[in-house]
Amino acid sequence: MSGSQLLRALRRSLGLGRQQLKVDSRHVVLITGCDSGLGHSMAVYCHESLHMTVVSCCHNIKSEGAKLLQGLASAKDGLSRMHTLELDLLEPDSIRLVHRQLRDILAKDPSYRLTALINNAGVMCFGEFEWQLTEQIEAQINCNLLGTMRLTRELLPLLRQQQGRIINVTSHCGLQALPALGPYAASKAALRFWTDALRVELQQYGMEVVNFIPGSFVLDSNIAARQQQHAQKMREAFSPEQHALYDTYFEAFNGYLKVLSGFKPPNRLRNESLLAKFKDALTSSQPLALYIEEPRRYRLYRWLFSLCPTPLVDWLTVRFCAMPTYESTNRQGKI
């Protein structure tokens, strides 16, 4: 690290010289995972509140969320500030196509500047590690981690040339792994540490890389919409021994999760604290390396996790999840 980089790092740690950069329609932001939930809300916020030009990437261009975003597109002087593209992070051809489409958008106006890439897309599957199929485990790693890496690598030369920033949306699961979310937590923890490495690498090119951890939006998004389909596949793959051991527990476990299943309409979040942190991550001249938005309950447990010995952390983790366990299910069955 050079002397100027060290000085800049010290100024950032002390909060010196931080100011909000003004953004407008000339500033272009690309956001992934915009079909619903946080990504959809970020796209709407950047378009309506920050008046930026938004490239919103949806997994399904025909989804309700994608159609709502397309409805926000209004051309002025032949230029629209909302561009909705289809993106599958598991398909390299889809990533390359989005790159070409982004270049075409930027070419429409010489004043455009690619301000930020926001990696928000992700998939989640609940289930103990033994239950989850190889395809379910690999889908979470492939989308949440490798897909994010693929897209970032594809766009990195363009981001570097325009000194755009990268905001990676990770998870509390990347700070404290939770039972029944092992592969998901692994993908988010890996994303967290890759974000840290990328931040150090790109500082020398005048780029900022941010780790953004929102609160839990599993009930407000479609990240777990296919949970019951995932569960059915797990159940069908059980051996006779696994059926005998797990069936009662498995039914209680997935019965508890039925509220997550099914595709929900896009939900525009009204969390003012989260939006304020997101705006700072996107527009601060010296953004923090890590932003965490969490309810009081999360903050309390995270503080306890940092203080307690491992056996107590394990007990607290089970209490935090508040889900059926093998022990509790068997105990109820014996009463």
Cβ partners under 8 Å of residue 154, min gap 6: 95, 96, 98, 99
- Alpha-carbon distance of 294 to 68, in angstroms, equals 28
- Alpha-carbon distance of 102 to 56, in angstroms, equals 11
Domain locations in the chain as residue ranges: 21-223+265-298
DSSP-assigned letter for residue 265? P
Four-CA torsion 152, 155, 156, 162, nearest 10 degrees: -130
Catalytic residues: 184
Q: How confident is the model at residue 5 (pLDDT cuts 50, 70, 90)?
A: low
- Alpha-carbon distance of 70 to 88, in angstroms, equals 18
Architecture of the CATH domain 21-223+265-298? 3-Layer(aba) Sandwich (3.40)
The helix (H) or strand (E) run that includes residue 213 is strand 209-213
pLDDT greater than 70 at residue 333: no
pLDDT tens digits, 98-130: 999 999 999 999 999 999 999 999 999 999 999
CA distances from 240 to 110, 256, 262, 299 (A): 64, 24, 29, 42
The stretch 156-174 carries a mean pLDDT of 95
Share of the chain above pLDDT 90, in %: 73
- Other C-beta atoms closer than 10 Å to the C-beta of 225 total 17
Q: Per-residue b/e over 166-181, b at no fewer than 16 CB within 10 Å?
A: bbbbbbbbbbbebbbb
pLDDT tens digits, 274-310: 999 999 999 999 999 999 998 898 899 999 999 999 9
Question: 6-10, 20-24, 290-294, 312-316: which range is least confident on average?
Answer: 6-10
Bridge partner residues of 86 (DSSP): 58
Bridge partner residues of 45 (DSSP): none
The stretch 118-147 carries a mean pLDDT of 96
Mean pLDDT of the chain: 90
The helix (H) or strand (E) run that includes residue 230 is helix 227-237
pLDDT at 335: 40
Bridge partner residues of 58 (DSSP): 86
pLDDT greater than 80 at residue 77: no
- Top mean pLDDT of 96-105, 252-261, 325-334 is at 96-105
Q: What is the pTM of this model?
A: 0.90
- Other C-beta atoms closer than 10 Å to the C-beta of 80 total 17
pLDDT at 3: 63
∠ at Cα 222 (230, 232), nearest 5°?
15
pLDDT at 1: 54
The helix/strand/coil state of 163 is coil
> For residue 81, which amino acid is it?
R
Nearest Cα to Cα of residue 185 among 153, 154, 151, 213 = 213
pLDDT tens digits, 225-253: 789 999 999 999 999 999 999 999 999 99
